[in-house]
Structure 1
Amino acid sequence: MLTDTILEDDRWEEADLETLAETAAVAALSHLGMVPQDYEIAVLGCDDARIAVLNAEFRDKPTPTNVLSWPAWDLAAEDDGAAPEPAPEGDETMPEALGDIAISYDTCLAEAEAAGKPLADHVTHLVVHGVLHLLGYDHIRDNDATLMEGIETKILGKMGISDPYRE
């Protein structure tokens, strides 16, 4: 399996985060021409209290957020809108760790309900988003955001999920 999912909040079990994360991560890597079996990603399913602590510790923002990611490698492109550097290659016998993702049930549910979309679709989008961050994509600069959102939209479209940026 590409993802190793740890559930700190039991509500994620009912939402089937393990399957959603695996499916989303495989779709993201496959779309980018990567072999999913050659990589590993740790996914933490938590609540707002836990993600607020993580957000404060790592980003100096003591508030809940939907998803956080910690890439194993700094692959970001220097030029705004350029593709990131490729991730180091692993293989099936020695998969390469891409990094960690944490996702908060409370914030995800609130956002999904506010947007009138299924929780599974929103979670899938956020995992794809987190995986792209692990691969060096970002959305701070305008052209980087355009590139990242375009890739997210294509991945989600292949999965039958509507464009989250046009709703």
Structure 2
Amino acid sequence: MLEVDIDRTRDWDGQTDWERIAEDAVKAAFSVSSHGHLAEAPFTISISIRLSDDGEVHELNRNWRGKDKPTNVLSFPMLKQDELDALANTDDGEVLLGDMILAHGVCAAEAVEKAIPLTQHATHLIVHGTLHLLGLDHIDDAEAEQMEALEVKTLASLGIGNPYSDH
């Protein structure tokens, strides 16, 4: 069973159902990953998502990645690949997969630049972050292509177009 915990700052619109958006994005990302079966596991897999501001993300990006600027999303996986692969055999009641944080200002500016709603862009970033928590990365071209293909497939299942197309 998947459990998505959401925390948000005032920057994020209180009228938007961010909990539903995040849960839908996480479930969809699981469904296209090689770890999709874990979404139906007899134990709880927990993901924590913080919808925050640029300042908090800037600080985390500087402290954890050595990059002195805010970014759109950061993911902090709690499990290594071999631990992820062994999860099917766990008898733990709950497993924390990891945390992610989104920066409102960066996300909003990117959404405007792409001429898409913030909710759509945030969905993409939550999918992206979830795939990181599931062990995917985009360090080299082959990994980036694989991850982007999974993002496109996931977003299509949510009725969202390809964020990497120029159309």
Q: Do Structure 1 and Structure 2 share a fold, with TM-score over 0.5? A: yes
CA contact (8 A) 1:28 1:132 kept: yes
CA contact (8 A) 2:77 2:132 kept: yes
SS in 2 for 1:11: coil
2:67 to 61, 71, 88: 61
Given residue 50 of structure 1, which amino acid in structure 2 is its aligned partner?
E
Q: Provide the C-alpha distance between the structure 1 equivalents of 2:49 and 2:6, rounded to a whole number of angstroms.
A: 5
**Given that residues 57 and 101 in structure 2 are in contact (C-alpha distance below 8 angstroms), is that contact kept between their aligned partners in structure 1?**
yes
1:107 aligns with 2:110: no
Cα distance, 1:16–1:10 mapped onto 2, change above 3 Å: farther
Give the structure 1 partner of residue 129 of structure 2.
130
**5+ long unaligned stretches in structure 1:** 77-84
Aligned Cα root-mean-square deviation (Å):
2.2
Q: Distance in 1 between matches of 2:127 and 2:59?
A: 23
How many pairs are equivalent?
A: 159
TM-score (norm 2): 0.86
Residues 41-80 of structure 1 mapped to structure 2, 5 A cutoff: 41-75=47-81
1 CA distance for matches of 2:89 and 2:5? Answer: 16
TM superposition shift of 1:74: 2.1
* Residues 120/137 of structure 1: CA separation in 2 closer, same or farther (3 Å cut): same
Aligned positions of 1:16-27 closer than 5 A = 16-27=17-28
The gaps in structure 2 that reach 5 residues or longer are none
Q: Secondary structure at the match of 2:135?
A: coil
Q: Normalising by structure 1, what TM-score?
A: 0.86
| Percent sequence identity over aligned pairs | 39
1:124-147 superposed Cα distances (whole Å, 9 cap, x missing partner): 000000000001101111100011
**What amino acid is the match of 1:39?**
I
The one-letter amino acid of 1:111's match is E
